[in-house]
Amino acid sequence: MTDISTLGEFGLIKHLTKNVKLHNTQTIKGIGDDAAVLNLKEKHTVITTDLLTEGVHFDLSYVPLMHLGYKAVVVNLSDVYAMNAKPLQITVSIAVSNRFTLEAIDEIYKGINLACENYNVDLVGGDTTSSVSGLIISITAIGIANKEDIVYRSGAKINDLICVSGDLGAAYAGLQLLEREKHVYEATPEFQPELDGYEYILQRQLKPEARKDIIELLSKNNIAPTSMIDVSDGVSSEILHICDKSNCGSVIYEDKLPIANQTRDFAKELLIDPTTFALNGGEDYELLFTISQNNYEKASKIPEITIIGHITEVEKSSSLIARDGTEVRLQAQGWNALKG
């Protein structure tokens, strides 16, 4: 194992970026100067930043470093797609303590570079420094879109349909599984984790994907979302964000929530209602968006999209219609990094 102090900061940067490839013509100059140079022409630019901190956002006792690097990129790209924009570049800043070897940092960057390759984005800069409190990763993503194509949280209209991509709650189920197996292992070190049969929910937690395909499908089918947000903190929280910014209310239906069978099975194993996972579990990185009722027929024919409710007047609070017909007020109970 190689102590990273033997390379120094500039040696580490040179080592980590020696195989970086550029994918986009908009990137004029990437890594290797005082700043990157981008030519974005007449397009509008969207920029987003996410900070991931060890012990708050991830636990290295069960998160592989390569998966962590991949996920760190994906969560930022998801925010760009949620603006109906195309990500082009990222910067990566990383702080590490002296317990991390060069080989460990290489694993993180393998994941980062794989995500860049899969989503056709360029790594164009960043920073490295030391940390006294574990591993910290900060990634900024830069994207472009035509002015008229950008979608905000504030555009939902009364009677718009509420849609979501993919399925919900699987990432939270995967997290609960990993936490359960960790606690058992800590109590019984000779214990071997039982993960067979849970591959889907584990993949959704450890290696999520941003829904680039949904943006492409909406464009292909000439469906223009009126508002959009990515599901990072739980569907209930995200719907309330849209309602707050759009000055409206909402109704969603429990029996319409898309939940994978493996998520349902694991929730029942824990004696938890699967709907709780779907509403309040975070890190699905699906896209939640609203569309005009005029697009109902087109949207209903896309298997990757589920219509789960509609937008109402602001006077009506956002609510869930349960399977038995009762109405329950929605509350933001998803992930909150500032809670103890």
Instruction: Kindly report the backbone phi and psi dihedral angles of residue 238, in degrees, each rounded to the nearest multiple of 5, phi listed first.
Output: -70, -40
pLDDT, residue 338, reads 43
Distance (Å, rounded) from C-alpha 83 to C-alpha 56? 26
Q: Write down the domain spans for the chain.
A: 4-149, 153-329
282 three-class SS: coil
pLDDT per residue as tens digits for the range 266-308: 999 999 999 999 999 889 999 999 999 999 999 999 999 999 9
Q: Is the pLDDT of residue 134 over 70?
A: yes
Just give the CATH number of 4-149: 3.30.1330.10
Does residue 127 contact residue 34 with C-beta atoms inside 8 Å?
no
pLDDT per residue as tens digits for the range 69-88: 999 999 999 999 999 999 99
pTM over 0.85: yes
Q: Is the pLDDT of residue 193 over 90?
A: no
The CATH superfamily of 153-329 is PurM-like C-terminal domain (3.90.650.10)
Q: Is the pLDDT of residue 192 over 80?
A: no
Distance (Å, rounded) from C-alpha 252 to C-alpha 318? 8
pLDDT, residue 122, reads 94
Does residue 260 come out as left (phi exceeding 0), alpha (psi in the -120 to 50 range) or beta?
beta
pLDDT per residue as tens digits for the range 196-230: 899 999 999 999 999 999 999 999 999 999 999 99
